[in-house]
Structure 1
């Protein structure tokens, strides 16, 4: 029988704890350490992952808070944990119990989020599908709760209304090809890098994009958007510390979660080759033209 690496205690070069059920964790919280790290969740008795996450504060606090939200009678709000409503919906629909395994890591915030992308990409490469609850994917028969301030709780959809579009087949996982700055990076037909004065040629279509610093000749950011033209124009108003160029790739007929899957694979592959993420990935840049 083939061993599935994403279930192993050495997956991704990390040291993971054994798998503990949600009930076991809540009975003895010491199974989960009180350090920053990454965590993975699977249905009990099944060989697939539901969710991969990370926290810079306290794994025990993060995981137990997620468990409390997942087992509530009503679908939890979308905060403080965006995975809560999704795990709740699958538990409600299928009656699944869940198990969790964690790994402590001593990394900066950016590197820790890059590691999360790498693990998500690795899972996609091994299985051909994304984890069930990452990238905005959601059970087709349920509507997701919004933030706590909205007061809106989701739940099961009536048979007479359309299904939730945030479910379906994953975009095929991307395989390593080219380099982060090449025009065939990860097998996509990227545009040439262009300056801000050429953005009028960029279409209002869905796709992914890269931002390169001209002074450092390095990748500064990877992103995705439903409207490439508008998004890239927004980026020209941010202070990158140097002049920048843009390269993009149109992804026709992509669902929103497809764009997030692709963006994740690009960042995960960058992390795998560079052991870091692009300079401004996961940072909020202030506006201010250079």
Structure 2
């Protein structure tokens, strides 16, 4: 276990030892009943399956995930979105899993920013994403939907059919520039434009930044399959100051790859001073005209 993402000191946090799912269910007190971060890996393999966070209770969150993962049928997509994916990998590969957690007391937005930072750090070190974050899913399985929908996923029956949500990760972004610079994270960003230049934005896949002109800081980082439509929506929101928008078109990417890139940007932003853009994980009010 030479990889730093497997160590008990990863990313400057204090992590518990790795406990198997069976050990945790037999002795639930192995997991603290406090907010924090958790990571999951296959027993005997040195890559991560999932990184998550909770603001309520790690013990409840992890045991809930384990119970759903160990069900005979693929669990529904709620209450834990990672459970169907872990179930699929167990069913396909016979993998069993172990978990390690870190107690972290942070406000919601900062905790979610730390999750992005850990996911980005893992990508940089390992060269690919965790198997169950960003919407990735086993290529030979269809994912369950919500409990309300009643749709339970399972193995695809058509031999040549593959789940679109699996494949190669996007290349992890390495830190470069500053959050407002034209070369941030090595991407070819557009100039910052205002609402009058909406027609100049292509309606293609990509990522974008919202910059506040009063504070000269990035207020939000996002991704979209239709950049022009998404930024039109943002132009209706109350950012508390005049804003401009910068975007980067990234064509020929799958949905999960766009989410990986978005996460890298947020994770890198968090690495600067342990914070996220002002409105990153908040719901903004729509301005009424």
Partner SS, residue 148 of structure 1: coil
Residue by residue over 1:75-134, the C-alpha shift from the partner in whole angstroms, topping out at 9 and shown as x without a partner, is 111011100100000001011110000000011101000000000001001110000000
1:215 deviation in Å?
Answer: 1.0
1:20 deviation in Å?
Answer: 0.2
- For 1:234, the equivalent position in structure 2 comes to 233
- List runs of 5+ in structure 2 lacking aligned partners: none
1:160 deviation in Å?
Answer: 4.2
- For 1:52, the equivalent position in structure 2 comes to 51
- For 1:188, the equivalent position in structure 2 comes to 187
- For 1:110, the equivalent position in structure 2 comes to 109
> Does residue 1:199 correspond to 2:201, yes or no?
no
Partner SS, residue 248 of structure 1: strand
- For 2:276, the equivalent position in structure 1 comes to 277
CA distance in 1, matches of 2:194, 2:147: 41
Tell which deviates more after alignment, 64-73 or 2-11. 2-11
Q: TM-score, normalised by structure 2?
A: 0.98
Residue pair 1:44, 1:96 contacting (<8 A) in 2 also: yes
CA distance in 1, matches of 2:31, 2:71: 21
- For 2:129, the equivalent position in structure 1 comes to 130
- For 2:82, the equivalent position in structure 1 comes to 83
Q: For this pair of structures, how many residues does the alignment match? A: 289
CA distance in 2, matches of 1:151, 1:252: 34
User: RMSD of the TM alignment (CA)?
Assistant: 1.0
CA distance in 1, matches of 2:258, 2:159: 29
- For 1:264, the equivalent position in structure 2 comes to 263
> Does residue 1:144 correspond to 2:143, yes or no?
yes
- For 1:168, the equivalent position in structure 2 comes to 167
Relative to 1, partners in 2 of residues 1:64 and 1:38: Cα closer, same or farther, differing over 3 Å? same
Residue pair 1:236, 1:289 contacting (<8 A) in 2 also: no
- For 2:9, the equivalent position in structure 1 comes to 10
1:3 deviation in Å?
Answer: 1.5
Residue pair 1:145, 1:155 contacting (<8 A) in 2 also: yes
Partner SS, residue 99 of structure 2: strand
